[in-house]
């Protein structure tokens, strides 16, 4: 395949498209609300109405408003329908011929949609994730061509550095620097790993990207391979995401068929093949050294760094590990240029970030927003606030992050501001909590998670999480004393400073952030000192001698 052929494929596909496209979400969230039935009925309705010549029904990826699924959008009319019931399909198609429908009409001008800036999700909900032609028709694989034929590997790395993009998996390490390091390492064999082990409970951005636009990620990986000199890539996906795996498999096959993956891509000397590795249910495998152990067929035990994977990773070869969302940005950065990307966001956090806005919030779903937007804008304007009551806290960063109190909602969302207030960007989970949420229970919930997910290799994480959980349980049973609270805090610092990998280092964050912002909830749980003999209250305090 060469450029003309690629353009021809896109052109032919566009020409074959019908004037009206009815997009029906077929991702996991909407499927659970019988989207597949809606999809089927829409197709039948088009046939019944005899509209096949001008209308097509396309199964697409996530449109974002997962809390109101199944979603159907008709283009170019830009008519959005929410919570569509299978029996409403016929009337929705009728609207194309002047009819009316009882289906709930969505508002695309609502801040939930209007405030978004879509780079990673630019095609989500618009293209059929199971059709490479659909992806090519919106300009897909052009960036890969541009990289291979119009840029040297060094220039690609420079462009990524210029974009200022930082790792979207949570840590926020500059992506360009990582690429440059792996590119400079000696050795003939290098690897690219796409980390799709999205384990943070409350986060589903990567699942959505893989389900909605798998080719965008594959293209990003191939560009990365070209830039650093790797000919083999692995995508590590959680087994909990069967649809994402299925669509990736299909996408890889399609790309191979077109010569966009495999040997001699675009008839150039560049080879790049991609294999899928399926996780087996271990949160710790999101940690890069553990992920490498897991791809190599072993227990997901992290190993001390240095050496970093960039120096010695998969099978001791230099390895680039990037998160799904990071890689999904690459194609656009190459197309539009690093400087363009750097113009979005804040001084130190460039571009956009996808958040999974969930919990006690009116509009829940996926949003892609420019860095620097405030939590208040996300929660109150886009999310529409808490259904009944008020925002008490926003949790970001999952089990590694912290709870941000309502008083700090004006904090801008960027890597450094979130760390400064004791949380972190994390992979993008954003769970809103209201007055009914007990913050000590939240801390216990996360510690229960970490206690169950620690690999057990290093002492502080293996036994420290057990003891932290026990102390929180003691508190919640109202059996703890001030001394226990002090012990809790000092153990948090110890686990944070002495653990081997990121899981242990960040495990105490939910406790430390709630201790910092919701200390009164801990204090209320403290048992009166033993010498009071339980005789407290009613103004009668007897101190036994």
Partner 1 sequence: MQAVTKTTQATPKPAKSDHPSGDRRFKTLDMTMKRHQYKPDALIEVLHKAQESFGFLEEDVLTYIARGLKLPLSKVYGTATFYHLFSLKPNGAHTCVVCLGTACYVKGSNKVSAALEEELGIKLGETTADGKISLMAARCIGACGIAPAVVFDGTVAGKQEPEMALAKVKDWELE
Partner 2 sequence: MSVKTLKINGVDIAIEEGATVLQAARQAGVPIPTLCHLDGVHDVGACRLCLVEVSGTRKLLPACVTEVAEGMEVQTNTPKLQEYRRMTVELLFSEGNHVCSVCVANGNCELQDVAIQVGMDHSRFTYRFPDRAVDISHPQFGIDHNRCILCTRCVRVCDEIEGAHVWDVAQRGAACYIVSGLNQPWGEVDACTSCGKCVDACPTGAIFRKGSTTGEKERDRAKLDFLVTAREKHEWTR
Nearest approach, Cβ of residue 331 and partner 1 (Å): 23
Tell me which of partner 1, partner 2, none is bound by residue 499, counting a contact when its beta carbon lies within the kind-specific cut-off of 5 to 8 angstroms. partner 2
Is 431 among the residues that bind partner 1 (CB under 8 A)? yes
Region near partner 1 per CB under 8 A, out of 212-220, 233-241, 488-496, 537-545: 233-241
Query: Nearer to partner 2 by C-beta: 141 or 415?
Result: 415
Query: Nearer to partner 2 by C-beta: 248 or 500?
Result: 500
β-strand 352-359 against 429-434: which pairing, if any? Answer: parallel
Is 239 among the residues that bind partner 1 (CB under 8 A)? yes
Is 518 among the residues that bind partner 1 (CB under 8 A)? no
Binding test (CB under 8 A) with partner 1, winner from 10, 59, 61, 67: 67
Nearest approach, Cβ of residue 236 and partner 2 (Å): 18
Is 25 among the residues that bind partner 1 (CB under 8 A)? no
Query: Nearer to partner 2 by C-beta: 421 or 494?
Result: 494
Sorted by sequence, the CB contacts under 8 Å of residue 476 that are 6+ apart come out as: 440, 441, 444, 525
Rule CB under 8 A: which of 179-218 touch partner 1? Answer: 198-204, 207-208
Query: Nearer to partner 1 by C-beta: 55 or 393?
Result: 393
Region near partner 1 per CB under 8 A, out of 60-68, 250-258, 473-481, 515-523: 60-68
Nearest approach, Cβ of residue 347 and partner 2 (Å): 23
Nearest approach, Cβ of residue 319 and partner 2 (Å): 19
Q: Is residue 120 a contact partner of residue 328, using CB atoms and an 8 Å limit?
A: yes
Instruction: With CA atoms as reference, report the closest residue to 320 among 120, 200, 178.
Output: 178
Size of the site for partner 1 (CB under 8 A): 57
Q: What is the 3-state secondary structure (H, E, C) of 366-391?
A: EEEEECCCEHHHHHHHHCCCCCCCCE
String marking each residue 457-486 x if it binds partner 1 according to CB under 8 A: ------------------------------
Alpha carbons 61 and 80: distance in angstroms, whole number:
15
Rule CB under 8 A: which of 242-261 touch partner 1? Answer: 242
Tell me which of partner 2, partner 1, none is bound by residue 202, counting a contact when its beta carbon lies within the kind-specific cut-off of 5 to 8 angstroms. partner 1
Binding test (CB under 8 A) with partner 1, winner from 127, 144, 455, 461: 455
Q: Is residue 204 a contact partner of residue 194, using CB atoms and an 8 Å limit?
A: no
Binding test (CB under 8 A) with partner 1, winner from 1, 185, 278, 526: 278
String marking each residue 331-360 x if it binds partner 1 according to CB under 8 A: -------------------------x-xxx
What's the distance, CA 477 to chain centroid?
35
Rule CB under 8 A: which of 297-316 touch partner 1? Answer: 297-300, 315
Query: Nearer to partner 2 by C-beta: 195 or 301?
Result: 301
Q: Which two tokens stand for residue 473?
A: 């349980």
Phi and psi, residue 350, nearest 5°: -100, 155
Please give the biggest Cα pair distance in the chain.
Answer: 94
Instruction: With CA atoms as reference, report the closest residue to 30 among 80, 84, 79, 73.
Output: 84
Is 135 among the residues that bind partner 1 (CB under 8 A)? no
| DSSP calls for 179-221 | HHHHHHS--S--EEEEEE----TT--HHHHHHHH-HHHHHHHH
Q: Is residue 202 a contact partner of residue 401, using CB atoms and an 8 Å limit?
A: no
Rule CB under 8 A: which of 371-390 touch partner 1? Answer: none
Q: Which two tokens stand for residue 338?
A: 């690093």
> Cα–Cα distances in Å, from 490 out to 6, 156, 170, 457, 525?
60, 46, 25, 21, 18
Q: What is the 3-state secondary structure (H, E, C) of 451-486?
A: HHHCCCCCHHHHHHHHHHHHHHHHHHCCCCCHHHHH
Nearest approach, Cβ of residue 494 and partner 2 (Å): 5
Is 453 among the residues that bind partner 1 (CB under 8 A)? yes
Query: Nearer to partner 2 by C-beta: 94 or 416?
Result: 416
Q: Which two tokens stand for residue 108?
A: 């695309």
Residue labelled with tokens 């210029």: 162
Query: Nearer to partner 2 by C-beta: 296 or 435?
Result: 296
Q: How many angstroms separate the first and last alpha carbons of the chain?
A: 91
Nearest approach, Cβ of residue 155 and partner 1 (Å): 34
Is 427 among the residues that bind partner 1 (CB under 8 A)? no
160 C-beta neighbours (distance < 10 Å), count: 27
Q: Which two tokens stand for residue 186?
A: 């000696």
Alpha carbons 111 and 68: distance in angstroms, whole number:
15
101 C-beta neighbours (distance < 10 Å), count: 17
Binding site residues, partner 1, CB under 8 A: 28-29, 31-33, 65-67, 69, 198-204, 207-208, 238-242, 277-283, 294-300, 315, 356, 358-360, 364-366, 395, 398, 429, 431-433, 437, 445-446, 449, 453, 455
């Amino acid at each position: 395949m060469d450029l003309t052929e690629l353009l021809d494929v896109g052109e032919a596909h566009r020409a074959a498209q019908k004037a009206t496209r009815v997009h029906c979400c077929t991702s996991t969230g909407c499927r659970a609300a019988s989207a597949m039935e809606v999809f089927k009925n829409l197709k039948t309705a088009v046939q019944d109405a005899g509209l096949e010549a001008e209308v097509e029904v396309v199964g697409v990826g996530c449109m974002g408003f997962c809390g109101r699924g199944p979603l159907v959008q008709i283009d170019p009319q830009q008519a959005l329908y929410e919570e569509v019931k299978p029996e409403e399909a016929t009337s929705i198609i009728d609207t194309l011929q002047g009819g009316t429908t009882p289906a709930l009409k969505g508002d695309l001008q609502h801040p939930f949609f209007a405030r978004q800036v879509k780079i990673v999700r630019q095609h989500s909900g618009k293209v059929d994730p199971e059709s490479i032609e659909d992806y090519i028709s919106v300009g897909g694989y052009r960036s890969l061509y541009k990289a291979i034929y119009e840029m040297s590997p060094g220039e690609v790395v420079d462009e990524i550095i210029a974009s200022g993009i930082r790792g979207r998996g949570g840590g926020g390490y500059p992506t360009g620097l990582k690429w440059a390091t792996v590119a400079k390492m000696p050795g003939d064999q290098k690897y690219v790993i796409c980390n799709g082990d999205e384990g943070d409970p409350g986060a589903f951005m990567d699942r959505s990207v893989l389900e909605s636009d798998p080719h965008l990620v594959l293209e990003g990986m191939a560009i990365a391979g070209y830039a650093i000199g790797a000919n083999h890539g692995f995508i590590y996906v959680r087994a909990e995401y069967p649809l994402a795996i299925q669509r990736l498999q299909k996408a890889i096959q399609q790309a191979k068929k077109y010569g966009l993956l495999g040997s001699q891509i675009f008839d150039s000397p560049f080879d790049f093949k991609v294999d899928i590795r399926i996780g087996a249910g271990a949160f710790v495998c999101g940690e890069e050294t553990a992920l490498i152990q897991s791809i190599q067929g072993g227990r997901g035990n992290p190993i001390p760094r240095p050496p970093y994977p960039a120096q010695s990773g998969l099978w001791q070869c230099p390895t680039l590990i990037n998160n799904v969302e990071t890689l999904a940005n690459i194609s656009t950065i190459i197309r539009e240029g690093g400087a363009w990307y750097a113009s979005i966001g804040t001084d130190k956090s460039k571009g956009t970030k996808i958040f999974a806005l969930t919990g006690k919030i009116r509009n829940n779903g996926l949003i892609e927003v420019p860095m620097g937007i405030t939590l208040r804008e996300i929660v109150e304007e886009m999310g529409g606030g808490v259904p009944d009551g008020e925002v008490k806290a926003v949790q970001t960063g999952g089990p590694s992050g912290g709870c941000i109190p309502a008083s700090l909602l004006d904090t801008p969302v960027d890597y450094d501001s979130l760390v400064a207030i004791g949380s972190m960007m994390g992979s993008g989970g954003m769970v809103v909590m209201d007055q009914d949420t007990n913050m000590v229970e939240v801390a216990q919930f996360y510690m229960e998670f970490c206690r169950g997910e620690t690999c057990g290799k290093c002492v502080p994480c293996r036994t420290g999480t057990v003891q932290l959980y026990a102390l929180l349980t003691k508190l919640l049973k109202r059996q703890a004393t001030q001394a226990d609270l002090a012990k809790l805090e000092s153990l948090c610092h110890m686990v944070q400073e002495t653990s081997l990998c990121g899981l242990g280092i960040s495990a105490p964050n939910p406790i430390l952030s709630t201790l910092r912002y919701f200390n009164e909830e801990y204090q209320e749980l403290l048992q009166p000192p033993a010498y009071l003999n339980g005789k407290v209250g009613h103004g009668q305090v007897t101190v036994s001698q």
